[in-house]
Structure 1
Amino acid sequence: MKVTRPMLAAVAVAAALALTGCGGADGDAKAVAAVPSAATGSLEHLAAEVKCTPNMQTDADEIRQAICKNADGKFILATFATDRGQREWINGAKDYGGHYLVGRKWVAVGETSTVNALRKTLGGDIEEGTDHSAHESGEASDGATHSGH
């Protein structure tokens, strides 16, 4: 199956919106104490590390993506064929908010508390998506009111 950038962007949007919505986080703000080296391996290997059975959503050469759920919560787990493909996916997805745990050629997307818990096992770096909650009132920074969002 040939996966195009628009298809990957659509998957990223769906993942971010399904798990985090357009609003802010209500998760755990505590710093994670000891972070292990970032895990490596297949999607199935990473899922096994965090004790979830992946529900595959996309299985292509460029990206493999699954919905996972474990004791820490529900999250999206994706693996990528290239570092560039991963970075393009993350950059597109971050426009829709969310919390991203990023390792080498993999990413987990979920609520803050879930991402922090996964980090204790998988390692990686946490990245935050754009918070659009300030735009919900319809007021611009110049005090003008705009319709739409």
Structure 2
Amino acid sequence: MVRKLSRGVALAASLAVLPLMAACSGGDGSDKASGKETDESSPVAAVVAPAKVEVIAQLTGCKVKIRTEAEELREGVCQTAEGDYLITTFPKDELKEVWLESAAIYGGKYLVGPRWAISAKPDVLEPLKAKVGGTIRDLSQPSAS
């Protein structure tokens, strides 16, 4: 049990760098967002999205590209006109918290829900929050112990 948890912590720590890579990476230059109609833009704001990358991506209006498929987490990259972001889901909230603790080394803000987190530039997080719910957590603030 301890070894399995240690492996999860190690993987989560090594993957903590990924939100920075997603936030800093440029788009691929494609303009496929045009011509997409959505009648229901944000009736979801009162409900927090479930922990599934594809569902969260659909709610935010992006066609996600899965880039990590592991036992401890799944990650997908979204590139939109509003900005790029990384959706990470976890099978347990405990793994999400370990991941967030590891990401705190790099600081930044994250949109967090039950068993998921979205990494993006701060100006992208508020519009995403209106679509999927959750809470914006500022990891650049030292926690009071």
Range into which the TM-score falls when normalised by the shorter chain: 0.7 to 0.9
Residue 88 of structure 1, aligned match among 77, 92, 98: 98
Paired residues of 1:78 and 1:107 also in contact (CA < 8 A): yes
**Is residue 34 of structure 2 the alignment partner of residue 10 of structure 1?**
no
Taking the aligned partners of 1:18 and 1:46, their CA distance within structure 2 comes to 17
- SS of 1:38's partner is coil
Q: Deviations over 1:8-57 (max 9, x none)?
A: 21211232254169xxxxxxxxxxxxx52311141101101111111212
Percent identical pairs in the alignment equals 28
Paired residues of 1:20 and 1:98 also in contact (CA < 8 A): no
Match of 2:117 in 1: 107
Change over 3 Å in CA distance of 1:97–1:130 after alignment to 2: same
TM-score for both structures, normalised by structure 1? 0.70
Structure 1 unaligned runs (5+)? 22-34, 132-149
Taking the aligned partners of 1:19 and 1:69, their CA distance within structure 2 comes to 10
Match of 2:78 in 1: 68
Match of 2:87 in 1: 77
Give the total of aligned pairs.
118
Taking the aligned partners of 1:13 and 1:89, their CA distance within structure 2 comes to 10
TM-score for both structures, normalised by structure 2? 0.72
- SS of 1:96's partner is coil
Cα deviation, residue 99, structure 1 = 1.4
Match of 2:68 in 1: 58
- SS of 2:50's partner is coil
Residue 131 of structure 2, aligned match among 116, 121, 133: 121
RMSD: 2.3
Change over 3 Å in CA distance of 1:17–1:130 after alignment to 2: farther
Query: Partner amino acid for 2:69?
Result: D
| Aligned counterparts, 1:17-32, within 5 A | 17-19=21-23
| Aligned counterparts, 1:33-44, within 5 A | 35-44=45-54
Paired residues of 1:80 and 1:105 also in contact (CA < 8 A): yes
Q: Deviations over 1:46-97 (max 9, x none)?
A: 1011111112121112200111122321011000000100111011102201
